[in-house]
Structure 1
Amino acid sequence: MNKKFINLALVAALGFSTYIAPITAFASTDEDIKASTEKLVDLENKEETAESQLSTITATIADNEKKAESLVADMQETQTSMKVLEEQITNLKSAIEKREAKLEEQARSVQVDGDSRNFVDFLLNAESISDVLGRVGVVSQIVSANQSLVEAQAADQDAVVAKQNETEEKVEEQTLLAAKLEASKTDLEQQKLEKEAVVASIAAEKSVVENEKEKFLAVKAAAEKGAEELALVKTTATSNSSASVETVSTKTTVASEVTAKPAATEKAVETKKATTSNGSWTTIKNAAYGVTGTPYLYGGTSTSGFDCSGFTMYAFSAAGINLPRTAGAQYAASTKVSQSEAQPGDLVFFNQTGSIDHVGIYLGNNQFIGSQSSSGVAVTTISQAYWAQYLVGFGRIN
């Protein structure tokens, strides 16, 4: 009886001392789980707010895309109007040339420069009264016809000037439309990146906290299992209690190992800086001139059509240099140089709408090659009246 009592006391003492560790582990792990849960609740609240913001951004992007579609339609209408105006100017010039030929022909037979003596001689040579009357009618018709031709000639010349002015206004309008599209595209790209950044940030943070919580729950489960086994040892009080305690210690060790956190690994990302060396500039120039005449196309980055920044991307990519997608981003990525320091191969930037909205490749001697909405890929003079008023400066890709 005494021996049995001693065994029970020994087992109870061992079981109680070993049981303390899981109880302590429970308290610590429960605090960790509670903290992780609170973090998740906080992240869920942030996620709800972010989703609301993302909805607003998405709506803004959709609205900007509709505006872009409308601007493209306006550009197409402008281009059609330009073609019609060019045909009208050609027809007017042709009509003027025909009238000038007719006036010259009549001038050779009867002078119409205001010297009335030729008409008087013509009348005096009449052989009879009826002949005089006939000749008076002829003179009247000649003067009237010539006067109509002169008036029509003057009117058409005025019309040609007006049509030319109208054409130039249309060209400028089209160029400004293209600039608005470029600025709109920059906004869209920025909002898209911001949206992706918000989504990725929340997802990454939630993933980390959820993984931590799962680890804490695993530790707690292992500790609870160990506690259950210790409780079983206490109630059985058999002679093999030592072995049972050893088994429980092993379980506790396993539980402790579960709490070990794996070391984080980081992967370095290297960025390669490109330079416009002499060899690079030759390659860029050949690529640029190789697509001369390619039509302007909003959003275009291939030989089927380019917008301004798509063209510069294409030319520089031939030399292995990756430029950002928009004119504004290319301006931000370049090292600014003065016009006196500018060299062939530098970028030249313009601001027509309140922000950087056009870019071309500087050729030297105040010339640049770019994709203009009015001409497609072509060489243009910076000092031209239109571009001179919008010049911002020059940038070098280092």
Structure 2
Amino acid sequence: MRKQKQLILSTAVILGLSSVVFAPSVFANTDLDRIQEERSSIQTQISKQNVELTALEKEITQINEQIARVEQAIVDNQKKIDEAEANIEEAEAEIAQFEEEIAALQEQIEARYELLKQRAVSYHQNGSDSNYLEVVLGSTSFSNFIDRVVAVTAIAEADNAIIESLEEDTKKLEELQASVEEKLEELQETKVELDGMQHHILEQQEQNETLKAELKEKEQTAKNEKNNLQAKDSELESEAAAIEARQREEAAAAAANTVEDRSDSVSLTAGSSSPSSNTASQSSTPAPKATGNGNIQTAINAGNKYIGNSVYVFGGGRSASDIAAGRFDCSGFVAWAMGQAGYSVPASTDGLRYAGKQIASGDRQPGDLVFFNTYKTDGHVGIYLGNNKFIGAQSSTGVAIADMGSGYWADKYNGRVVRVH
């Protein structure tokens, strides 16, 4: 009976200790399971976020490359503007010099006219009705007659020389005036072209600022999202660590209070769990590359690979380095694209507008060249795609497909269509 009481007492002690040790552990393990589930869900979100960040980083890299292209284009175009302005200054200085020469010639002409008037007065010694013959016939002797003939002849020759000189100077004056007018016309064309270049510069600067703003916004959004996820995961990790530390303390306290003679039969253990970590996977898919088939469709498709990664540069597209870097102006792009299909055409809008057969606007077909009046007549050119769309090197976007059926390009379209295929 006594042994039975001792057994019952021992059992009660063990059960009592178990209730002290295991009950909190059960609740703790439940919390750990909950935390583990939440962390697993967050890790999955972080993994997805890493994939999105990888795609975003690729996009940011492309934007940075485009910004670099635009900034370099601005520098190059500014050099063109500086050169044009220097040429304008030289032309204006030359025009000023011409004007000085013209003024001097005008003074000489007026002086010679005055000299002729004075000579005419000397010829007409007897009034306004006198002439050379009257001067000669009015001689008083033969010797006087000879002297008068010689004098009249010398005067006439001198007058002829003055008249010839006057005619030469007048002709020179007319030539200089024509030259000045030509210089002024060239200067005006240069100014118009300069204005167009400046327009392109401003558009590229505006695009540059837009790209930079988008870049900053995307970077900040990505950082905020990732930081929030990492902060939440860190909080859960700290909470799990606190629960595990509490379990260890409870286990240690329970072990210390266990009855010494029952220590071998009572086993108190505390479960432990270690949070798992998921490694985010990253992947990227290269963009497909376009290929041509040797006909006009090749020219139409040639520029597709430059859409979104090119820049407008005045005078661009005429060297291998420009083409490799996606640096084109409108006529340079058209000449390059047509060249991909085997069509040799000029790399200027003036040359392209007469490079093939003139087509009625209503009969235009894909592959035809279409022209627009921008900063000058036929100042822009592109390749018609059909459905009122055309592809070209646009000043604000680089190579892009634009709509000529409405808006800006509809207003600028002048109806000129040229077929070179």
CA contact (8 A) 2:193 2:375 kept: no
- Quick check: 1:126–1:132 contact (8 Å CA) kept in 2? yes
The residue that corresponds to 1:100 in the other structure is 113
Deviation track 1:201-249 (CA, whole Å, cap 9, x = no partner) reads 12211211111111111111110111111112222337999xxxxxxxx
Note the C-alpha offset of 1:27: 0.7
Q: Deviations over 1:296-315 (max 9, x none)?
A: xxxxxxxxxxxxxxxxxxxx
Counterpart for residue 198 of structure 2? 185
Distance of 2:213 and 2:253 partners within structure 1? 56
**Structure 2 CA distance for partners of 1:194 and 1:164, relative to 1, 3 Å:** same
Structure 1 residue aligned with 2:32: 19
After superposition, what is the alpha-carbon deviation per residue over 1:159-188, rounded to whole angstroms, capped at 9, x for unaligned?
232222222222222222222221111111
Residues of 1 paired with 2:183 and 2:75: CA distance?
28
**Does the aligned pair in 2 maintain the 1:40–1:206 contact within 8 Å?**
no
Match for residue 65 of structure 2 among 52, 56, 70: 52
Q: Does 1:222 align with 2:226?
A: no
Match of 1:195 in 2: 208
Answer yes or no: is the 8 Å Cα contact 1:47–1:202 preserved in 2. Answer: yes
> Does 2:76 correspond to 1:63?
yes
Tell me what 2:153 maps to: 140
Q: Indicate if the aligned counterparts of 1:40 and 1:210 stay in contact, CA closer than 8 A.
A: no
Q: Structure 2: how far apart are the matches of 1:39 and 1:148?
A: 92
Q: Name the counterpart of 1:42.
A: 55
- 1:174 aligns with 187
Q: Greater Rg, structure 1 or structure 2? A: 2
Structure 2, unpaired ranges of 5+:
1-13, 125-129, 255-372, 381-411, 413-421
CA distance in 1, matches of 2:110, 2:222: 84
SS at match of 2:34: helix
Which residue is equivalent to 2:21? 8
Identity %: 21
Shift of 1:47: 2.1
Q: How do 1:57-136 residues align onto structure 2 when only pairs under 5 Å count? A: 57-110=70-123, 118-136=131-149
3-state SS, counterpart of residue 11 of structure 1: helix
Q: Which runs of 5+ in 1 are unaligned?
A: 112-116, 242-348, 357-391, 393-398
* Partners of 1:10 and 1:239 in 2: CA distance: 15
Q: Following TM superposition, by how much is the alpha carbon of 1:24 offset from its aligned partner in structure 2, in angstroms? A: 0.9
The one-letter amino acid of 2:105's match is L
TM-score in terms of structure 1 length: 0.56
CA distance in 2, matches of 1:240, 1:155: 125
- Name the Cα RMSD after superposition: 2.9
The change in CA–CA distance for 1:225 and 1:170 in structure 2 (over 3 A counts) is: same
Matches within 5 A, 1:247-286: none
Q: How far apart are 1:108 and its partner, in Å?
A: 2.4
Q: Does the CA contact (< 8 Å) of 2:196 and 2:375 recur in 1? A: no
Partner residue in 2 for 1:33? 46
CA 1:240–1:198: 2 relative to 1, 3 Å: farther
Q: TM-score, normalised by structure 2?
A: 0.54
Give runs of aligned pairs for residues 242-321 of structure 1, distance below 5 A: none
Asked whether the equivalents of residues 68 and 184 of structure 1 are also in contact (C-alpha less than 8 Å), the reply is yes
- Mapped to 1, the partners of 2:375 and 2:27 lie a distance apart of 83
Asked whether the 8 Å contact 1:68–1:181 carries over to 2, the reply is yes
The alpha carbon displacement at 1:22 in A equals 0.6
How far is 1:350 from its partner?
9.2
Task: Please report how far the alpha carbon of residue 352 of structure 1 lies from its aligned counterpart in structure 2 after TM superposition.
Answer: 3.8
**1:157 paired residue number:** 170
1:204-223 aligned at under 5 Å gives the runs: 204-223=217-236
| Inter-CA distance 136–353: structure 2 relative to 1 (3 Å threshold) | same
Deviation at 1:38, TM superposition (A): 1.9
Aligned mates of 2:152, 2:95 — CA distance in 1 = 44
Distance in 1 (alpha carbons) for counterparts of 2:170 and 2:67: 58
Deviating runs (4+, > 3 A) in structure 1? 117-133, 238-241, 349-356
Once the two structures are TM-superposed, the CA of residue 126 in structure 1 deviates from its matched residue by: 3.6
Cα distance per residue 1:111-143 (max 9 Å; x no partner): 6xxxxx944443344444443333232122111
Match of 2:250 among 237, 243, 247: 237
Distance 1:122 1:150 in 2: 21
CA distance in 1, matches of 2:374, 2:17: 98
Taking a change above 3 Å as real, the CA distance of residues 214 and 94 of structure 1, as seen in their structure-2 partners, is same
Residues 352 and 90 of structure 1: CA distance in aligned 2, closer, same or farther (over 3 Å): farther
Amino acid across the alignment from 2:49: S
DSSP 3-state at the match of 1:237: helix
